[in-house]
Amino acid sequence: MSKATDGPTYVRIAEDIRRRMRDGDPPAGGMLPSEADLARTYGVARGTVRQAVAELERAGLVASEAGRGRRVVGEGPPGAGRAASTQYETIAEALRKRIESGELAPGQQLPGEVAAAEEYGVSKGTVRQAFQLLASEQMIASVHGKGWFVGGPGHARTRADDVAAALRQDIAGGKFAVGAVLPGENALAQEQGVGRITVRRAFALLEAEGIVEKRAGRGRVVKTQPKGS
């Protein structure tokens, strides 16, 4: 292990394991040594090793496989030259092709883990591993509180953003004048084909912009025209 003393022990162990993986020990697709083996190698408690490995998992460099341990995802370029050998790799490859073909565009939100698990007939954990693999290739990124998006946080656009944009356009176009009461959450949810929570988030965006305000007994009312309209 590196003799650098900066940072907690588990961080230095994580960096050393990361360096070894870049050197192909173990290679992408291979299994990481067990926590007990790593604890012996580094002369630390298993809890310290567990923290180090958790750092690698958060970085998308390794992924847990039930009953097997942790498989190395690696830091190579996207799609780097190995065939999919597990369920999560197969799912990642399918999503990778959809992204590369443009079917899934930058900024588009991926299906949630539950929906994807149902689509592919696997567990949520397997879907999460597939997402982590694509994240390690910088093809997708997780946006806190929103989900996974193609391209990363800078491209993230949710359904709430789309609903807010539609309302913004309707207000700018005169469909809803200043002082008009907007349709309720249920009506908009049905019209837009989304859940009420999505409509609520869209209203929150417009309220933050000062375009809409909530008035007791009336609902959401148009307060002003969108900027630039």
DSSP calls for 67-80: TTEEEE--S-STT-
Cis peptide before 26 (omega within 30 of 0): yes
Round to whole Å and give the CA distance between 33 and 52: 13
Per-residue model confidence (pLDDT) at position 207: 92
In tens digits, the chain (229 residues) has pLDDT values of 544 445 689 988 999 998 888 888 888 778 899 999 999 999 999 999 999 998 888 878 888 876 678 888 755 444 444 434 578 888 888 898 888 888 888 888 888 888 888 888 888 888 888 888 888 777 888 877 778 888 865 555 677 888 899 999 999 999 999 999 999 999 998 988 878 888 898 999 899 999 999 998 889 999 999 886 5
Give CA separation, 74 vs 23, 39, 54, 99, 152, in Å. 10, 21, 15, 20, 19
Q: Is the pTM of this model over 0.75?
A: no
- Compute the half-sphere exposure of residue 118: CA atoms within 13 Å on the CB side of its CA: 4
> Which pLDDT score is estimated for 194?
77
Which two three-digit tokens encode residue 212?
Answer: 């809409």
Query: So what's the pLDDT on residue 4?
Result: 44
